[in-house]
Amino acid sequence: MQIIVQNGHILAIHDSNQEISGRYPGGVAVAVPDETSVAIGQPWEVDLEAAKTSACKAIDATAETLRNAVLTPGSGQMAAYQAKEEQAWALLADPTPTEGEYPDIFNEIGITAASAGEVAMAVVAAAERWRAYGRSVERVRLSAKKAVAEASGLTAVLAARNRVDWPPC
């Protein structure tokens, strides 16, 4: 079970597996053992380390949401993107590319671009756009978590978590 504590009182109660990041900007999500009796409105003191852990989880969740907004999520899709990028780089260095050597690139002729070379360039450009965006998200994520780690009180933890300036998608 997880609770949301705001201003020293329980604001909400959720299942442990429920994703609640970002839903309570003034509150802190805290894990509570299932046997613990809790009620909305009940006073609850939040430990500073628990608040920092909660804030870092929220920051990580937002970063992942932003990354997924610009890239199809899933390990299978990521494997396909990686294979296409490897083939694209190799094809661009090959003076006589064939479909047998670069099937993923040739597969996109007429869809992504008109030729294998143009498909390869489009794949490389898309990969670099994603990496550039991913780097900016990662810098913001790490900076935000550093600010949370350096916070000396609950108010400072919440301020650090809530003032993150994420790059637009």
State residue 75's pLDDT score. 81
Q: CA-CA distance, 145 to 58, in Å (whole number)?
A: 10
Tens place of pLDDT for every residue, the chain, 169 residues? 889 998 889 999 998 888 887 788 888 888 887 788 899 999 988 889 989 998 999 999 999 989 888 877 778 888 999 999 999 999 999 999 999 999 999 999 999 999 999 999 999 999 999 999 999 999 999 999 999 999 999 989 999 999 999 999 8
State residue 72's pLDDT score. 78
- The Cα-based distances of 111 to 4, 45, 52, 119, 127 in angstroms read 48, 57, 47, 9, 17
**Whether the Cβ atoms of residue 58 and residue 23 lie closer than 8 Å to each other:** no
State residue 70's pLDDT score. 84
Ordered by start, the domain boundaries in the chain are 1-46, 47-169
State residue 68's pLDDT score. 85
Q: Is the pTM of this model over 0.75?
A: yes
State residue 24's pLDDT score. 86
- The Cα-based distances of 105 to 66, 85, 86, 88, 118 in angstroms read 27, 9, 10, 7, 9
Burial of 65 (0-12, 13-18, 19+ CB in 10 A): middle
Is residue 135 within a helix (H) or strand (E), and if so which, with residue range?
helix 116-150
Residue 11: phi and psi, rounded to 5, are -95, -35
